[in-house]
Amino acid sequence: MEITVHGTGELTPGQHRAWHEAMDGSPGFANPFLSPEFALAVGRHRAGARVAVLREDGRDVGFLPYERGPFGIGRAIGLGLSDCQALVHRSGTTWDTGELLRACGLSSFEFDHLVCEQRPFEPYVTGTFASPVIDVRPGDGDYPAWLRGTYPGQAKTTLKKERRLGRDVGEVRFVFDERDPGALRTLMRWKSAQYRRTGRMDRFARPWIVALVEELSRLRAPHCTGVLSVLYAGDRPVAAHFGPRSSTVLAAWFTAYDPALHRYSPGLLMHLRTAEAAARHGVAVVDLGRGDKEYKDWLKTRELRVQEGFLTRPHPMALAHRLWRGPARGLRNTVLAHPRLREPADRLLRTAGALRTHTRDQGHY
C-alpha cells in the first residue's frame, strides 16, 4: 500500500473519478459529506485540509479527507459540521492505521460520525451511536402514508396545524430547490438566533462557516449538490432547510423557522415536506444525523450507526489530545443519553442564552 498526501485542490480528475467510483460501490459511502466536492469546499476555507490517497497495484483505492492542526493533531474534515465521516475505499481494501497516521504526519485523528465497519479503526472507537434516517419510500411505499399509518394521532395533529397556517397566514406552498440567496440568508439568521436563544455555539458567527454554506448552496454536482428548501405561507417564508445531497442521500443539516409562527410546528412541517419532495427528486434516504430528538424518533423509519473515537499512534501529543478531549466528550455523551440529565442541562443552556441575549440587547457588550 502506497499512501500519499495532497491538498484538497490538488487531486487529479482521475482521482476524483476513483473517489466517486468508491462512493458508488457501497451504499455506506453514498452520503454527500463523503464526496470529494465537500472536501474541496472545506479546503477552500480551512488551511489544514488534506486528503490521504491510498494506492494499490497501480490504482487509487482509498481516500481519507482530514484536517491537520498544530502538533500533528488531526480530525475528520469538517468535524463539528459533517454528519458522516469515513475513509472512502474500494471493496476489499484494508490499511494499517499506524502507517496511515505516519504518512499523514499525524499523532492522532479524531472522528465523531464515522461510518461503521471501518474495521482498522474499530480498536480506537470509544462510542457507537444511533443516526436516524428516513427511507422516503419505506417498503417501496409512500412515506406520508407510512407516517399516517404508523403515527395516526401525531400525523393528524401536524397536518391540522398546516391547514390552520394556511388559513391564518396564507396559502402554504413548498419549494424543494429554492435558488433565492435571500432565503438562505433568512435561514442563517433564524438559525443563528436559535443557537443564541438555546445557549449553543453560534456556528454562523464564524465567517468561514457562512462562506462554506454559501459556496455549497451554489454547488451542482452528481455526488454533492446544495439543496435549499423553503416552506412558505403566502409570500412569507415560514421555515427553511439547507443540506447537501448525493444522487440517493439528502443530509438534513440546517433547519430553522420563524419563531413568531412556532405554534404551527413549522420545523416539523418542514421535515415532512422535505422528505415527501425528496422522494420525487430521486432521493432514497434522508439522513437526520446523530442525536436524540423527539422529532427524529417520530420521523425516522430506521437507524444507522456511527462511531466516535481517536485513532492514535505512540506519541506524547496523541496522549495529551485524548486526555484533553476525551473526558469532555464523555460527559457530553452521558448527559445526552439520559433524559433526567439532558432536560435540566437543556434548560440551563436556554437560560444562559436568554441572559446573553438580554445583556446584548441592553448594550452591555
Helix/strand/coil (H, E, C) string of 135-186? ECCHHHCCHHHHHHHHCHHHHHHHHHHHHHHHHHCCCEEEECCCCCHHHHHH
The 3-state DSSP class for residue 58 equals coil
The predicted structure's pLDDT at residue 340: 55
Per-domain residue ranges of the chain: 2-130+304-345, 137-283
Instruction: Measure the CA–CA gap between 89 and 357, rounded to whole angstroms.
Output: 46
Residue type, 156: K
Cα angle: 325, vertex 290, 9; to 5 degrees? 75
Q: Quick one: DSSP state of residue 37?
A: H
Count CB atoms within 10 A of the CB of residue 20: 19
Instruction: Measure the CA–CA gap between 313 and 311, rounded to whole angstroms.
Output: 7
Run of H or E including 286: strand 285-287
Backbone φ, ψ for residue 104 (5° rounding): -85, -10
Instruction: Measure the CA–CA gap between 162 and 171, rounded to whole angstroms.
Output: 10
The predicted structure's pLDDT at residue 4: 98
The structural architecture, per CATH, of the domain 137-283 is: 3-Layer(aba) Sandwich (3.40)
* Fold match flag (2-130+304-345 vs 137-283): yes
CA 111, 228, 149, 249 torsion-angle sign: negative
The 3-state DSSP class for residue 289 equals coil
Instruction: Measure the CA–CA gap between 70 and 361, rounded to whole angstroms.
Output: 37
CB environment 43-78: b (16+ within 10 A), e (fewer):
bebbeebbbbbbebeeebbbbbbbbbbeebbbbbbb
Contact 302, 135 (CB under 8 A): yes
Instruction: Measure the CA–CA gap between 34 and 31, rounded to whole angstroms.
Output: 6
CATH 3.30.1330 fits 2-130+304-345, yes or no: no
In order along its 365 residues, the chain shows pLDDT tens digits of 999 999 999 999 999 999 999 999 999 999 999 999 999 999 999 999 999 999 999 999 999 999 999 888 999 999 999 999 999 999 999 999 999 999 999 999 999 999 998 999 999 999 999 999 999 988 777 898 899 999 999 999 999 999 999 999 999 999 999 999 999 999 999 999 999 998 889 999 999 999 999 999 999 999 999 999 999 999 999 999 999 999 999 999 999 999 999 999 999 999 999 999 999 999 999 999 998 888 999 999 999 999 999 998 876 565 555 665 655 555 455 545 545 544 553 444 444 444 444 344 434 33
Please state at what angle helix 266-280 crosses helix 143-150, rounded to 10 degrees: 140
CA separation (Å) from 199 to 112, 117, 239, 309? 22, 35, 21, 26
The predicted structure's pLDDT at residue 41: 98
